[in-house]
Structure 1
Amino acid sequence: IHQTGVHCVLHIARDSPRPDVIVSVLTITNTNTSDAINNFHFQAAVPKVKIFILSID
């Protein structure tokens, strides 16, 4: 969302250590210096056998 100063980039590696592994890096940057992000919650939709939730407070 560029209008608010929040920019998200998802990098997915072409190579992986194993066939059943996907290497990805999510970079989130806030360029809006007047409004700090105090509570950020990221949730990914993955198969039911693998649930991953990242919360940064």
Structure 2
Amino acid sequence: MVAVTRTLSPVLAGERLNAVLVAAILGLGLLFMSGFSPAAALHNAAHDWRHAHNFPCH
């Protein structure tokens, strides 16, 4: 039986790092934007999203 070892090539490792960094930046951006925006703006955005996707809300 032959043992198979898996190693990441430098290209795949770099792509994975880029994906993690982009996800982290987007996540932190959403967190800070929602944390510092007024509550009424968040409510209106969620309300408009529900209407745009045909979800009943009232």
Shared fold per TM-score greater than 0.5: no
Query: Shorter chain as normaliser: what TM range?
Result: under 0.3
**Greater helix share, structure number:** 2
What TM-score, normalized to structure 1? 0.25
Higher RCO (C-alpha under 8 Å, 6+ residues apart): 1
Query: Which entry has the higher C-alpha Rg, 1 or 2?
Result: 2
